[in-house]
Each structure stands twice: as structure tokens, then as C-alpha cells.
Amino acid sequence: MADVEKYGEGNRNTTIRGLEGERFGLLVVLRYCPFSERPESARQRKDGAWWYCRCDCGSEKAIRGTNLKQGASRSCGCQSRRYGFRAA
């Protein structure tokens, strides 16, 4: 059974490791984000594993693992801001 998406809170010892140290765009995964530390909206949805990531710009942010793997999250948000407003 290769269901890697099953980052349930109950089976953390088998599924938690995985993304640490990996890079997704500007983000490098630091560590797992425990359920209790996730944003309110995420806690309600129970939407899989979240990870603390450090962006190349220096800020840290908790990001959903699915977003990282699907390429939906490539930065802490500074990138989209940069694209929206051309820096002087």
C-alpha cells in the first residue's frame, strides 16, 4: 500500500518523514507542522500534512504538503507579490 497521502494524525511514525530538506521553488521544507499549529481553516478541513518551509526571502511559513507536491506553492507569497508589483 503506497498511499503516501495518508498523513493522518494517528499514524505519524510511518508517514511523517518525507519532505524535510526538499526544495519546492523558493521553499525548503524544515519540519512537519503539527495539527495544533496549523491555521484554523486547515484544522477544520483535516487536509493532510502541513510543513514548515523557509522561503529564500527568509520568512517561514506553514504550507500544505499537497500544495508543495503539486507545485501550487513555490514561495511564501513573496513571489506572487513580486510579480504583481514591479520593484523599483
Contact flags string 7-26 toward Zn ion, x per CB under 5 A: --------------------
4 lies in the binding site for Zn ion (CB under 5 A): no
Contacts of 37 (CB under 8 A, 6+ apart): 62
- Number of residues interacting with Zn ion: please give it, by CB under 5 A: 5
We find the least distance from the C-beta atom of residue 54 to Zn ion, in angstroms, to be 9
55 lies in the binding site for Zn ion (CB under 5 A): yes
Cα separation, 66 vs 88, in Å, equals 34
Task: Choose, by CB under 5 A, the member of 9, 23, 57, 82 that binds Zn ion.
Answer: 57
**How buried is residue 32: exposed, middle or buried, by Cβ count under 10 Å (0-12/13-18/19+)?**
buried
In angstroms, how far is CA 3 from the centroid of its own chain?
18
What number of other Cβ atoms are within 10 A of residue 57's Cβ? 13
Whichever of 73 and 75 has its CB closer to Zn ion, that residue is 75
* Binding-site ranges for Zn ion (CB under 5 A): 55, 57, 75-76, 78
